[in-house]
Amino acid sequence: MLFPLVLVFAGRLKKTEEGKRREELRKAYADGLDAFCTALKAGYAPENAIGYAARELSLLYGKDAPITAEYSRMEQGIHMRQTPEAQFAALAERCGLPEASLFAEVFAVVRKSGGNLVSIVEETGSLLRDHIHTRQEIQTALRAREMEQNMMKAAPLLMLVYLMLFSPGYLDVLYEGLMGRAVMSICLALYLVAWHLADKVLEAERVA
């Protein structure tokens, strides 16, 4: 009867893993932005700065890392006579990060307007990196809250297991007879509702 709950928990676990991968991608994007801005300050043209960032990310994350592959793809696009702003826009579309979309828009505007590219890109990159680092600090704090929450979730189950192992027969009245089963069914329903609400609260804090 509880098998559908397995599917629900599997879906939640998958969502949690996707969130972790997204945060890892956000951090890697910030590192790529750092390398790109460093190359611009060193006098590289934007086209060459993308290649520089690809090499730096290869050293930092390895050649097979997703962010390294993305910058290598951008570098290939540059070799095919595509513009850097088009490459950053494509990267933002593929990774789906709002920070990437914002940077791509600012970068395209600066390239068209002919402003101080290095200064504006550096300032924009710095703001985005600060935002990303703030999110990382929040995620670190939330992981501690999540650990506490998981301990609270496990406590009732561990108590039942303890009583069943060290006090055999003590809980028989709760699992035999109509009244005991009804009470325990209600307790199980309340436990699952509390589990769901706790996850919702943590999810809301994570989004905020």
DSSP 168: T
- Cβ(125)–Cβ(35) below 8 Å: no
* C-alpha dihedral (136, 139, 140, 141), degrees to nearest 10: 130
Mention every residue, 6+ apart, whose C-beta is less than 8 A from residue 28. Answer: 57, 61, 65, 66, 67
Main-chain dihedrals φ then ψ at residue 97, nearest 5 degrees: -90, 130
What pLDDT shows up at residue 202? 73
DSSP 150: H
What pLDDT shows up at residue 96? 87
Q: In this structure, what token pair is assigned to residue 192?
A: 């699952």
Tens of pLDDT, residues 120-143:
878 877 887 787 778 778 877 777
What pLDDT shows up at residue 204? 65
What pLDDT shows up at residue 8? 67
Q: Is the pTM above the cut of 0.75?
A: no
Three-class secondary structure of residue 49 per DSSP: helix
What pLDDT shows up at residue 121? 78
Residues of the chain whose pLDDT is less than 70? 1-2, 5, 8, 204-208
160-188 as b/e: b if 16+ CB within 10 A: eeeeeeeeeeeeeeeeeeeeeeeeeeeee
